[in-house]
Amino acid sequence: QVQLVESGGGLVQPGGSLRLSCVASGFTFSLYAMTWYRQAPGKERELVAHISSFGLSTNYADSVKGRFTISRDNAKNTMYLQMNSLKPEDTAVYYCNVKLRDDFWGQGTQVTVSS
């Protein structure tokens, strides 16, 4: 069955960095685009970054452009999100997503940016 497992979240001070990982299984990872979403308390889930199946195309939310970098290693069935210059407004649960015939989500990893 499809599984997505995120890791790498934590507490970081403003201006700091974190790298999130999403390990995928149960489908042919290299054939599918992947997406990072986030959901802050009291807010709707929003798209953060998207990467094509071979990583040749990426897209970002305006709020993270220039600070976050999405990447993937198809040999490791893993997607990453490098987050630099973190701000308090980046605080959220971060989820990875893949759209097969249905949408599949990981359990999420908490990112808290606070001094």
2-21, pLDDT tens digit by residue?
999 999 999 999 999 999 99
* pLDDT one-digit tens code per residue, 20-60: 999 999 999 999 999 999 999 999 999 999 999 998 999 99
Cα 44–chain centre separation: 16
